[in-house]
C-alpha cells in the first residue's frame, strides 16, 4: 500500500472534487480520509462576531462535511476504507 498526501482547500468545492479525482486516478481508491483542517479565529476575544462564527462553522463543519461527502461514495464503491 502506498501513502500520499493530497493538498486541497476544503472551503472550495472544486478543489475537493479535484482532490478526490486525483486520488482515484493515482491510487485507484481512497481508503482513509484524515481531515486536519480547522480554524479558530476568535482567540483572545470575549465574544466572536456573527461573521467569525459563520466562517468558523463553514470551515470546521460544512467544509469538513463536504470532504467526507466526496470521499464516502468512492470508499463504499470499493467496499473498503476507514
Q: Angle between the 64-77 and 13-27 helix axes, to the nearest 10 degrees?
A: 30
Least Cα distance to 11 among 55, 52, 49 occurs for 55
Entry pTM: 0.69
Rounded to whole angstroms, how far apart are CA atoms 20 and 6? 9
Compute the Cα dihedral for 9, 15, 18, 20 and give only its sign. Answer: positive
pLDDT for 62 equals: 92
Instruction: Pinpoint the alpha helices (H) of the chain.
Output: 13-27, 50-57, 64-77
User: pLDDT averaged over consecutive 10-residue blocks of the chain (82 residues)?
Assistant: 76 89 80 79 78 89 89 78 62
Amino acid at each position: 500500500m502506498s501513502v500520499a498526501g493530497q493538498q486541497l482547500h476544503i472551503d472550495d468545492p472544486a478543489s475537493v472534487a479535484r482532490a478526490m479525482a486525483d486520488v482515484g486516478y493515482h491510487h485507484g481508491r481512497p481508503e482513509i480520509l484524515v481531515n486536519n483542517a480547522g480554524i479558530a479565529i476568535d482567540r483572545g476575544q470575549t465574544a466572536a462576531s456573527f461573521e467569525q462564527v459563520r466562517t468558523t462553522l463553514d470551515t470546521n463543519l460544512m467544509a469538513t462535511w463536504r470532504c467526507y461527502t466526496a470521499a464516502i461514495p468512492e470508499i463504499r464503491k470499493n467496499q473498503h476504507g476507514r
